[in-house]
Chains A and B, each alone.
Chain A
């Protein structure tokens, strides 16, 4: 079956703009989590959605938001982009919230200039 699909793979944005990233989980998976990966901070949890509800949120400013649709697809949005938002954004899906087997997409590489 198809894996986790993230679009786009690469993105270049200007400071102050906003961006929306998309994640399509594996069919049947209801939990979607987002992570930010940077060389300095490593992998950091952004948020988790399950059944269209945000269940958990990491320590990120309110400029980072997300949502999940009824088909479990998820989007994350970053408003008023800063240079420090440049990162690889990874989406992970799992069948349930226990995350005993989370499958990651290839990520979206966001560069803010």
Chain B
């Protein structure tokens, strides 16, 4: 069974500062890993995904994440925060046996002007 832990339910950053959201996973088989973003009253939008290709994954809106097997981590970063990055972010894992997505609890990002 796979699961995801997101460290920190709230992150506050200044505009222009680094955004770092932490995600650790547990999976008995090589996982697929994802980061999604959710704006208020909206569905989830895929930011990026890891599917066993390159360990450094680049996504939309300037986000990237690095898969580190030794640390079972898939942290999300963005070098310079923008006001429009204020949203809730979810890390998710899917294994190759049952394909369902298991989500972390989410991290709410606020961006200070």
Contacts and interface: CB of A to CB of B under 8 A. Distances in A.
Interface residues of A, number: 26
Contacts of B27: none
A99 B94 contact: yes
Given A106-B42, A107-B43, A101 B100 contact: no
A45 interface: yes
Contacts of A35: 101, 103
B43 A102 contact: no
B99 A97 contact: yes
A104 B45 contact: yes
B89 interface: no
B49 interface: yes
Nearest to B102: A45
B98 interface: yes
B101 A56 contact: no
Interface in A37-59: 42-43, 45, 48, 55-56, 58
Contacts of A43: 90, 92, 101, 103, 106
Contacts of A103: 46
B101 A99 contact: yes
A70 interface: no
28 contacts: A4-B43, A6-B43, A35-B101, A42-B103, A42-B106, A43-B90, A43-B101, A43-B103, A43-B106, A48-B99, A55-B99, A56-B99, A56-B100, A58-B100, A90-B43, A92-B44, A97-B99, A98-B99, A100-B32, A100-B49, A101-B46, A101-B49, A102-B34, A102-B46, A104-B36, A104-B44, A106-B43, A109-B41
Given A42-B103, A99-B32, 6 more contacts: A31-B99, A45-B100, A99-B99, A104-B45, A105-B43, A106-B41
